[in-house]
Amino acid sequence: MTTVLAICVTVIVTVSVYLMLSRELKSIAMGVFLLGHGANLAIIAMSGSPVLPGGDLRQPPILGGENLVDALPQALILTAIVINFAVMGFLLTLLVVTARKTGTLNVDELALEDPPVASPEPDRSADRGVGR
């Protein structure tokens, strides 16, 4: 069980890093969201396997009795999911607003402090955009 989860986390993180290396903010945002899911799965993997050595399953803590699942990692994940949800909503809204205002979601074009068309000295503004 833990091995399967570990493989899942690896795949998710790989994909998300690939997405984050893109120049398009949409892909970067998706990569960040995916990284959040990877992190949550990693915590699940950390909380130990729900399958006992004999093949029985651990019980949900609310039922009481023996061999309970540790509930705290799930509380952590729930909190992280809520926060992820909020961040995701904010980031998507911001992306839409940015696209409307600037007409681009390309990282290089956004990094220019002044839009190239309006700038009187296009060379200088390009210099200021990179390098810091």
Partner 1 sequence: MTDNLLGLLVVIPLATAVASVALIRHRIPQRVLGLVSFGSMLVLALGWLSEIRDGDVLVSQMGGWPAPYGITLVFDSLSGLLLCAGLVVALGCYVHSFSMLDPVTERRYFHPLIQLLIVGVNQCFLTGDLFNLFVGFEIMLMASYGLLVIGGSRRQLGQAYKYLILNLIASTVFVVCAGLVYGMFGTLNLADLARIVDARVASGEGLPPGFVGVSVLLLFVFGAKGAFFPLWFWLPDTYHTCPVPVAALFSGLLTKVGVYAVARTFPLIFAVGEARDVVTPLLLVSAAVTMLLGVLGAVSQNNVRRILAVHVISQVGYMVFGLALMTTAGLAGALYYMVQHMVVKSSLFLCCGVMERHAGSDDLDRLGGLLKRDRFLGVAFFVAAMSLVGLPPLSGFFGKLVLVREGWADHWWLSVVALLTGLLTLVSMLKIWTKGFWLPPAEQAPPAPGRDGDTGSGDLRGAYAGIGFLVVVAVLIGLAAEPIYEIAFHAGEQLTDPSAYIRAVDPHGLIAAGGATGGGG
Partner 2 sequence: MRIDSLILRTAVRLVLPLTLLFAIYAALKGHNGPGGGFIAGLITAVGLCTYRMAFGQRAFFRLLPTHPRWLVFAGLSVAVGVAVVPLLLGEPLLRSGSITLHLGGEGLHLVSAMAFDLGVLLVVVGVAIGMITRLGEELDP
Contact positions vs partner 2 (CB under 8 A): 62, 78, 82, 85-86, 89, 92-93, 96, 100
- Work out the number of other CB atoms within 10 angstroms of the CB of residue 69: 16
Tell me whether residue 62 or residue 130 sits nearer to partner 2 (CB atom): 62
CA distances from 114 to 8, 97, 127, 128 (A): 42, 17, 11, 10
What mask of x and - would describe binding to partner 1 in positions 16 to 45, judged by CB under 8 A? ----x----x--x---x--xx-xxx-xx--
Instruction: Name residue 97's beta-bridge partners.
Output: none
Amino acid at 16: S
Cα(76)–Cα(71) distance, rounded to whole angstroms? 9
What part of residues 49-68 is at the interface with partner 1 (CB under 8 A)?
Answer: none
Quick one: what does residue 42 bind among partner 1, partner 2, none, with the CB cut-off 5 to 8 Å set by partner type?
partner 1
Q: Give which of 10, 54, 48, 17 is closest to 32, Cα–Cα.
A: 17
What part of residues 66-125 is at the interface with partner 1 (CB under 8 A)?
Answer: 70, 72-73, 76, 79-80, 83, 86-87, 90-91, 94, 97-98, 101-102, 107, 110-115
